[in-house]
């Protein structure tokens, strides 16, 4: 009997054991799910709160930087106009330093929050990997969190990189401000006599270095003063009127080289490249006025294209060169820097219209076209400001002699003379890839169709219409050698540029477009004013024009004639041999 009961109880336990195991497993799964959902909810709430805090910090940083930039611009203009004393400038520098320190602290706090978010994601992932494999919902959460983690990692990488740059830039700002602060203090006791002599001079000079994509140039401008509003003993606490209305351009020294700073293998080579230009400026300006003369260098598309780190290394070398003297570098950071594309055109427009005397009174201003090696700029002044008021990125505001201007400006990066040529050659080479490209390529420009069925190239690599007969471009292999070469064609070459580089009919989101999908005001919105085209426009056209007034049709005629009469490579070699 006892044995029978034991056997019966054993059978009963064996029957219940699977049921208990299943119940326990379900209970465990339920508890794990509740725990992880709770943890995820708490974590998500924490992340949301931290995300809001990060956004708030970012907004505060942007607001502070924007306000500081506006204040700096305003104070800079006051300093240029002589409406701020040196002592006031020192106070401004101290206040700016405090604001920069505050911004750096905000950036550090934002960086810390990002790091905390990443660490929390890592911990959650580790826990899910250890315990969450049995539940489908948790597996889905795991996938989602993995993606979130990657997004956070990407974000923190960007923040860290930008913070490194930001810290370096902030450190540079601190160093420059501290140095300028010391220079201001040093100048007060021992430079008053020098500055008095500068103020009393009736002849003034300024030095501007232009670091372009094809070389460097120095312009030394000489002005005569019609009056001396700054005459007398210099006072550090006094305010001085602007000299702009008293200056008359008298002469200019221009010296150039063909060594673009962007091509230097070693940033220190900038010293050897620029020193001859600097020596020319020293020789042109009387030694007694050297310390009075402001010097600056502005770089354009060449340095913009090589990356900020390489460019800054070059600029630092130039700053050290200028700091040795004997000229006056007003501000390390502003005197030697890269001009952004949106600045380059308006400054050229300002120069041209200043020389024309168009900035005074109600005179109409000229439109300018500037063709450089790496970019090209266009700037015009619409008679109706509404023509560009909806396009802030294409607007630039200036105030000169009490008159306000809002001009249209755009810099076409990559559409300078040399950069556009590189674009075209790369496009043609890309369209002619493949082992049978030379066989399949047809001159679509000349015929309007492909000579070989299925050909994808729009011009044969050995019948390039922009080159002289017999010429071979070694980097791409593109040439004009088929059947001994063909006479270059302006029409065919222009068609290639319109296809690959200057795409005229690309939409821009407006009824009025320039090219490559860029907004440009309707020409009817601009008064009938002269257009000044300079830089490579002038260099390339000057040998073919009698005076400096030219029409668009004249340019087309000249280009056609130059192409038709272009000598072959063989003829050029024979011509050189006879010399």
| Residue 426 marked in a binding site | no
3-state secondary structure of 295: strand
Q: Establish whether 53 is a catalytic residue.
A: no
| Residue 375 marked in a binding site | yes
| Residue 454 marked in a binding site | no
Tell me how far apart the alpha carbons of residues 482 and 462 are, in angstroms, rounded to a whole number: 5
> What DSSP designation does 340 have?
P
Return the bridge partners of 531, or none. 367
Among candidate residues 344, 393, 422, 475, the one labeled active-site is 344
| Residue 509 marked in a binding site | no
Are the C-beta atoms of 328 and 294 separated by less than 8 Å? yes
Three-class secondary structure assignment of 473-512: CCCCCCEECHHHCCCCCHHHHHHHHHHHCCCCCCCCCCCC
Nearest to 419 by CA among 288, 301, 245: 301
User: How far does Cα 517 stand from its chain's mean position?
Assistant: 19
Cα–Cα distance list, 292 to 80, 112, 534 (Å): 14, 48, 31
Cα–Cα distance list, 436 to 342, 373, 482 (Å): 44, 34, 15
- Output b/e per residue, 217-242; b: 16+ Cβ within 10 A: ebbbbebebeeeebeeebebeeeeee
3-state secondary structure of 260: coil
3-state secondary structure of 373: coil
Cα–Cα distance list, 574 to 308, 511, 564, 569 (Å): 46, 53, 19, 9
Longest dimension (CA), the chain: 133
| Residue 440 marked in a binding site | no
Are the C-beta atoms of 348 and 535 separated by less than 8 Å? no
Q: Which residue has the tokens 């983690």?
A: 149
Whole-angstrom Cα Rg for the chain: 34
Strand-by-strand arrangement of the 375-380 sheet: 395-400, 403-413, 375-380, 367-371, 531-535
Residues 536, 537, 540, 546: is their CA dihedral positive or negative?
negative
Output the CA angle 427-429-435, nearest 5 degrees. Answer: 140
Three-class secondary structure assignment of 507-528: CCCCCCECCCCCECCCHHHCCC
Annotated binding-site members: 373-377
List active site positions. Answer: 344
Binding site residues for ATP, as ranges? 373-377
């Amino acid at each position: 009997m006892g044995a029978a009961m034991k056997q019966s109880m054993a059978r009963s336990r064996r029957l219940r054991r699977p049921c208990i195991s299943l119940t326990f497993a379900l209970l465990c799964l339920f508890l794990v799910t509740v725990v992880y959902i709770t943890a995820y909810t708490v974590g998500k709430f924490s992340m949301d709160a931290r995300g809001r805090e990060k956004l708030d910090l970012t907004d505060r940083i942007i607001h502070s930087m924007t306000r500081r930039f506006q204040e700096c611009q305003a104070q800079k203009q006051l300093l240029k106009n002589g409406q701020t004393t040196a002592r006031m400038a020192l106070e401004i520098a101290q206040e700016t330093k405090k604001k920069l320190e505050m911004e750096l602290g905000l950036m550090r706090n934002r960086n810390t929050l990002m790091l905390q978010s990443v660490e929390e994601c890592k911990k959650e992932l580790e826990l899910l990997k250890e315990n969450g494999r049995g539940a489908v919902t948790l597996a889905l959460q795991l996938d989602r969190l993995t993606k979130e983690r990657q997004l956070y990692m990407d974000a923190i990488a960007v923040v860290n990189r930008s913070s490194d740059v930001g810290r370096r830039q902030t450190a540079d700002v601190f160093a420059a401000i501290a140095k300028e602060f010391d220079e201001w203090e040093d100048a007060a006791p021992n430079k008053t006599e020098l500055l008095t002599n500068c103020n009393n001079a009736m002849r003034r000079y300024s030095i501007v270095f232009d670091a372009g994509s094809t070389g460097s140039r120095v312009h030394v401008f000489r002005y005569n003063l019609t009056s001396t509003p700054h005459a007398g003993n210099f006072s550090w606490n006094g305010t001085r009127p602007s000299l702009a209305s008293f200056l008359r351009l008298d002469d200019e020294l221009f010296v150039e080289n063909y060594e673009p700073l962007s091509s230097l293998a070693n940033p220190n080579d900038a010293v050897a490249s620029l020193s001859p230009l600097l020596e020319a400026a020293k020789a042109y300006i009387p030694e007694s006025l050297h310390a009075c003369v402001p010097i600056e260098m502005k770089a354009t598309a060449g340095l913009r294209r090589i990356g900020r780190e390489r460019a800054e290394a070059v600029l630092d070398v130039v700053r050290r060169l200028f700091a040795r003297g004997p000229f006056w570098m007003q501000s390390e950071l502003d005197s030697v820097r890269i001009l952004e594309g949106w600045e380059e055109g308006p400054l050229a427009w300002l120069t041209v219209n200043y020389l024309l005397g168009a900035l005074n009174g109600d005179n109409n201003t000229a439109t300018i076209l500037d063709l450089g090696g790496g970019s090209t700029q266009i700037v015009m002044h619409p008679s109706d400001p509404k023509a560009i008021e909806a396009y802030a990125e294409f607007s630039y505001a200036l105030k000169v002699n009490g008159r306000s201007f809002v001009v249209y400006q755009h810099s076409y990066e990559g559409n300078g003379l040399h950069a556009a040529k590189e674009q075209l050659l790369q496009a043609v080479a890309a369209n002619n890839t493949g082992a049978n490209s030379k066989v399949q390529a047809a001159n679509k420009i000349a015929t309007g169709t492909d000579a070989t069925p299925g050909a994808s190239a729009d011009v044969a690599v050995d019948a390039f219409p922009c080159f002289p007969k017999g010429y071979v471009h070694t980097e791409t292999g593109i040439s004009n050698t088929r059947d001994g070469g063909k006479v270059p064609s302006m029409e065919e070459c222009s068609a290639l540029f319109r296809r690959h580089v200057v795409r005229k009919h690309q939409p821009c989101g407006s009824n009025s477009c320039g090219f490559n999908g860029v907004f440009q005001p309707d020409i009817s919105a601009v008064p009938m004013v002269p257009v000044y085209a300079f830089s490579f426009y002038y260099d390339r056209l000057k040998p073919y024009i009698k005076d400096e007034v030219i029409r668009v049709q004249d340019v087309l005629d000249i280009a056609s004639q130059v192409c038709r009469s272009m000598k072959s490579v063989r003829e050029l070699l024979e011509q050189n041999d006879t010399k």
